Structure 1
Amino acid sequence: MFSITPSTRIRPSPFFDATVAEGVTSFTVYNRMLMPTGFGDPEAEYRRLLEGVALWDVAVERQVQIAGPDAARLTQILVPRDLRKCVVGQGRYVAMCNHAGSLINDPILLKLADDRYWLSIADSDMLFWARAIAAERGLDVAISEPDVSPLAVQGPLAEDVVAALFGDWVRDLRYFWFRETEIAGIPVAVARSGWSKQGGFEIYLMDGARGSELWHLVREAGRPWDIGPGNPNAVERIESGLLSWGGDTDDRTNPFEVRLGRFVDLDVPDEVVGIAALRRIAAEGPVRHQLGAVLEGEAPLQPTVLWSDIELDGRKVGDLTNCAWSRRLGRNIGFALVSVSAKPGDAVEVLIGGRRVPAALVELPFF
């Protein structure tokens, strides 16, 4: 056992007390906040996500708010996806890149007004990046981290729970679309989104003092569907082929290498950060691509070092960037970021813990 020393550098979420009451057993640090990673029963948490409905504290998905007269222009400069047709109430999955075309975040962009946007970010300092680009371009914007904390309701029964809480209008929300509303006087935005392929919603709390209250409202609404606590599930996300920025990417990874090419519009304005490099990469073709790997063996592996080398015919062709025991496949599986010379169907070896583990490369997703 070990403990995390309290520090102003690590913040609890508005739902922290509620998760402690639920029996949280482990945390990780993400965007300088504590995120629950387990409640003591991994099998039940996995099954709840696949077959029922789970409640996740994902307040660590911080928002970068861009507001002001030049908000639309700056937001477009930051993402190589055409936003001209994006309307208020719509979200878009976007691939933020640096000037070399390397992926530096993959947030959900939410348009709250013509002059106000949120970037719901993965684990990195996009607040500083946005401020630097705005200053560099001399734009009239205010960039901040607002008091906004998402609470995820995920699983095949999530829609019933959220509809019971807010009304049947939520059933008509399209994926990544959202609506601002309130529940018991608590201001929220309800979006059809979440880091799973099992369906669900994220409720963006806009008053951090009322986190426990919102948690208990959702918990009570979900009681008829046997809702329970959970967390972004590593096994399900790998089975479903969901990218983890920073886990499955390095500082050279571009969107085309990790199946995000469809979120890059090469005809956006030249002032978009990284677009010149992305056009060049698209013309030349990426040197790596992301595949799945199914490892031989009948027992879960415990890799202590990721990334793990992948060899084909005795030479390294890439890395295994994650690994988990798939309960549905009965095999260890993971993502392979490998040379384009390696193809689905190839037999490879993965170097794990001093052993060479045979594996087969496959297309993603696994399911």
Structure 2
Amino acid sequence: MSLLSKSRRLRETPFTPGVKRNGVKAYTVYNRMLLPTVFESVEADYHHLKNHVQVWDVSCERQVELWGPDASKLMKRLTPRNLDKMQDDQCYYVPVVDENGGMLNDPVAIKHSDDRWWISIADSDLLFWVKGLAIGAGLNVRVIEPDVYPLAVQGPKADDLMARVFGDEVRSIGFFRYKWMRFKDTKFIVARSGYSKQGGYEIYVENEIYAMPLWDALFDAGADLNVRAGCPNLIERVEGGLLSYGNDMTMANTPLECDLGRFCKPAENNDFIGREILEQEIANGPSREVRPITISGDAVTPPTAPWPLFKEGKQVGSVTSAAWSPDFQENIAIGMVETGSWDAGTILDIDTSNGPRQAEVKAEFWSK
């Protein structure tokens, strides 16, 4: 078995003792931190997530903090999404693009006030891009990575577990909104959000001394709810069409290609980087888009590199994430497909790790 060599560049998290205690079997590296990927097995973890409740160490979702008089001005330069009506208790999913309209990240923005924002990032060095923009524009804003460690509670029993730890008020938090909730002698931002379709919360722990007390409180309160440690699950996220930055989209893709066009409003937000490119693409339409895809045959091994899709011998796209779905009893996948080949029902050829197969473009993802 190969092991990761740990150093200061590869960080554990304040929840790592709890993760180890609960039998983690595999990690990946995400924003130079450990992210658990398997506890019992991918399939067993999937079934448990869809039926019970899990506690996820997602401290790797690092925050980029904007703090100062020009914080909102800088935030609006980062994304094509209109932020003008965003309230102080809201979280927004925001595509962040470069000067070519390419996706740099797809974080969740948390608005504390006009003068203070957190950007909860996917796996990329967005901090350096934001600092560069702030310095280059001469903005009066501090850009740092604060000591904040998100912990997710996901699954159909998440409301019951969270209410036992934070009180029934937690149930009133709206989707992609947050409240400051008391825990012991401190308070955390608790948002109704998370990287699954099963529902749940993300808790933003600002002081790591509270990390393991919170972890233990959740497990003590959830014993009869069959609470377990968990992690983002490949099968469940593909069913729900949840894209993974660096896998299903990269800097080579625009938000429109990633089915995020609804967040691109150049007429309402006229000062973001990459505006001209995205305006042209909105006018002309994207040349390729993300699509749900099924793959014939028995269970495939998930790809570690894109699998090419062909139509009449010509490559027309690729599959970037795939897995066997126990609930739907078929291979399900996320692909990027060119116009003219992306209509539902289109049959394509695909080269998988398990050999050539047939693929079919579907109308919608399996879980909404």
TM over 0.5: yes
Task: Give me the whole-angstrom Cα distance separating, in 2, the residues matched to 1:240 and 1:326.
Answer: 11
| Residue identity opposite 1:309 in structure 2 | P
Q: Is the 8 A contact 1:45 1:229 kept in 2?
A: no
Q: Is the 8 A contact 1:29 1:35 kept in 2?
A: yes
Query: Deviations along 1:107-151, whole A, 9 cap, x unmatched?
Result: 000001221000000000111111001111110000111111111
Task: Give me the whole-angstrom Cα distance separating, in 2, the residues matched to 1:242 and 1:269.
Answer: 26
Task: Give me the whole-angstrom Cα distance separating, in 2, the residues matched to 1:269 and 1:201.
Answer: 29
**What secondary structure is seen at the aligned counterpart in 1 of 2:321?**
coil
265-274 or 149-158, which deviates more: 265-274
The answer as to 2:31 corresponding to 1:31 is: yes
Corresponding residue number in structure 2 for 1:17: 17
Task: Give me the whole-angstrom Cα distance separating, in 2, the residues matched to 1:221 and 1:113.
Answer: 33
Corresponding residue number in structure 2 for 1:243: 243
**What secondary structure is seen at the aligned counterpart in 2 of 1:272?**
coil
Corresponding residue number in structure 2 for 1:334: 333
**What secondary structure is seen at the aligned counterpart in 1 of 2:238?**
helix
Query: Deviations along 1:271-304, whole A, 9 cap, x unmatched?
Result: 211111111110111000111111111x321155
| Residue identity opposite 2:194 in structure 1 | G
Task: Give me the whole-angstrom Cα distance separating, in 1, the residues matched to 2:318 and 2:361.
Answer: 12
Q: TM-score, normalised by structure 1?
A: 0.97
- Written as runs of structure 1 = structure 2, the 5 A alignment for 1:247-266 is 247-266=247-266
Residue 189 of structure 1 deviates from its aligned partner by 0.9
Q: Is the 8 A contact 1:51 1:155 kept in 2?
A: yes
Corresponding residue number in structure 2 for 1:321: 320
Segments of structure 2 that go 5 or more residues without pairing to the other structure are none
Task: Give me the whole-angstrom Cα distance separating, in 2, the residues matched to 1:101 and 1:268.
Answer: 17
Q: Is the 8 A contact 2:104 2:250 kept in 1?
A: no
Task: Give me the whole-angstrom Cα distance separating, in 2, the residues matched to 1:188 and 1:21.
Answer: 24
Residue 187 of structure 1 deviates from its aligned partner by 3.5
195-204 or 183-192, which deviates more: 183-192
**What secondary structure is seen at the aligned counterpart in 2 of 1:13?**
coil
Corresponding residue number in structure 1 for 2:196: 196
Corresponding residue number in structure 2 for 1:275: 275
Query: Deviations along 1:309-331, whole A, 9 cap, x unmatched?
Result: 00012211010111111111111
Task: Give me the whole-angstrom Cα distance separating, in 2, the residues matched to 1:192 and 1:212.
Answer: 21
Task: Give me the whole-angstrom Cα distance separating, in 2, the residues matched to 1:203 and 1:173.
Answer: 12
Q: Is the 8 A contact 1:186 1:206 kept in 2?
A: no
Residue 210 of structure 1 deviates from its aligned partner by 2.6
**What secondary structure is seen at the aligned counterpart in 2 of 1:257?**
coil
Corresponding residue number in structure 2 for 1:156: 156
Task: Give me the whole-angstrom Cα distance separating, in 2, the residues matched to 1:206 and 1:250.
Answer: 30
Segments of structure 1 that go 5 or more residues without pairing to the other structure are none
Residue 251 of structure 1 deviates from its aligned partner by 2.6
Task: Give me the whole-angstrom Cα distance separating, in 1, the residues matched to 2:354 and 2:228.
Answer: 39
| Residue identity opposite 1:180 in structure 2 | W
Alignment coverage as a number of residue pairs: 366
Residue 269 of structure 1 deviates from its aligned partner by 4.0
Task: Give me the whole-angstrom Cα distance separating, in 2, the residues matched to 1:58 and 1:358.
Answer: 36
Corresponding residue number in structure 1 for 2:135: 135
Change in 2 beyond 3 A, CA 1:20/1:139: same
Task: Give me the whole-angstrom Cα distance separating, in 2, the residues matched to 1:36 and 1:188.
Answer: 23
Residue 354 of structure 1 deviates from its aligned partner by 7.2
Residue 241 of structure 1 deviates from its aligned partner by 0.7
Q: Is the 8 A contact 1:311 1:350 kept in 2?
A: yes
Task: Give me the whole-angstrom Cα distance separating, in 2, the residues matched to 1:225 and 1:303.
Answer: 31
Corresponding residue number in structure 2 for 1:301: 300
Residue 305 of structure 1 deviates from its aligned partner by 4.2
Q: Is the 8 A contact 1:45 1:54 kept in 2?
A: no
Corresponding residue number in structure 2 for 1:123: 123
Query: Deviations along 1:198-240, whole A, 9 cap, x unmatched?
Result: 1000111111233211111111122231111110011000001
Query: Deviations along 1:2-23, whole A, 9 cap, x unmatched?
Result: 1111211100011001100111
Task: Give me the whole-angstrom Cα distance separating, in 2, the residues matched to 1:42 and 1:193.
Answer: 22
Q: Is the 8 A contact 1:97 1:105 kept in 2?
A: yes
| Residue identity opposite 1:139 in structure 2 | L
Task: Give me the whole-angstrom Cα distance separating, in 1, the residues matched to 2:303 and 2:113.
Answer: 46
Task: Give me the whole-angstrom Cα distance separating, in 1, the residues matched to 2:251 and 2:131.
Answer: 21
Q: Is the 8 A contact 2:302 2:323 kept in 1?
A: no
Q: Is the 8 A contact 1:186 1:205 kept in 2?
A: no
**What secondary structure is seen at the aligned counterpart in 2 of 1:128?**
helix
Q: Is the 8 A contact 2:300 2:353 kept in 1?
A: no
Task: Give me the whole-angstrom Cα distance separating, in 2, the residues matched to 1:223 and 1:194.
Answer: 22
Residue 259 of structure 1 deviates from its aligned partner by 1.1
Q: Is the 8 A contact 2:303 2:321 kept in 1?
A: no
Q: Is the 8 A contact 2:71 2:141 kept in 1?
A: yes
Q: Where does structure 1 differ by over 4 angstroms across 4 or more consecutive aligned residues? A: none
